[in-house]
Amino acid sequence: MTTSPYRVALGDAFEGLHPRLKAYFDAIPEGGHGFGRGVFDAVGTPRRWLWPALWLLARAHVVFPVWEHDVPLTVSNLPDTTAAGAPSVRAVRVFRFVAGRRAMVDEIAVDGRTIVDTLGRPARVTARFDAAVVDGGLVLTSTAVAFLVGRARIPLPGPIAPRVVLSERYDDDVDAQRVSITLDLPVVGRLYEYAGTFRYGIEQGERTA
């Protein structure tokens, strides 16, 4: 079993994660995959003027022009490696919206102590994150965001770069994992978010969410 991008990025701090989060963020055994199922309290944004831009990213399986509550979700995590040989995880999150099933696709890798998340199929956005363990949970805070157009990488300057924060923690009271992601832009405010709970485990063989 190889290591995971999260273990590499966190180093010794990885041991401070809740035991159930260690299982989620650690390496997936060869021949297996991670699978989770839950319900998200909210997904998207109520700011409908943003929806045309989100529609473009929705075609690449990144974000979606919706604002819905109580959205059923499944997540599949598959172990992989980058072209440079670094550990990575390919993730597919399937949201079951009122209008139908939509999949968010990304690959999480590591560069030194930085988490690198590449989103879309084909890849359209890449973001770099600082990782920290806070009260047994994982917090990722973006430090850079760029659009991918063909082979070109177009970084967004700080004043117009969105700030993405991911928080994952384990809620022992409900025996489930809680996740929230927020995407905010200076001056404009909240652009996108999702949050909810799910239960997760490692399974053998192949499975799609």
pLDDT surpassing 80 at residue 208: no
Please count the residues of the chain.
209
Provide the domain limits for residue 184: 5-200
Burial (0-12, 13-18, 19+ Cβ within 10 Å), 133: middle
Is residue 194 a contact partner of residue 202, using CB atoms and an 8 Å limit? no
Q: Is residue 107 part of a domain?
A: yes
For tokens 């509550």, the residue is 69
CA 5 – CA 137 distance, rounded (Å): 16
What would the pLDDT profile of 120-153 be if each residue is shown by its tens digit?
A: 999 999 999 999 999 999 999 999 999 999 889 9
Q: How many domains are contained in the chain?
A: 1
pTM of the model: 0.93
CATH number of the domain at 55, please: 2.40.128.20
Q: Is residue 205 part of a domain?
A: no
What would the pLDDT profile of 99-119 be if each residue is shown by its tens digit?
A: 999 999 999 999 999 999 999
Quick one: pLDDT at residue 206?
63
Q: Is residue 207 part of a domain?
A: no
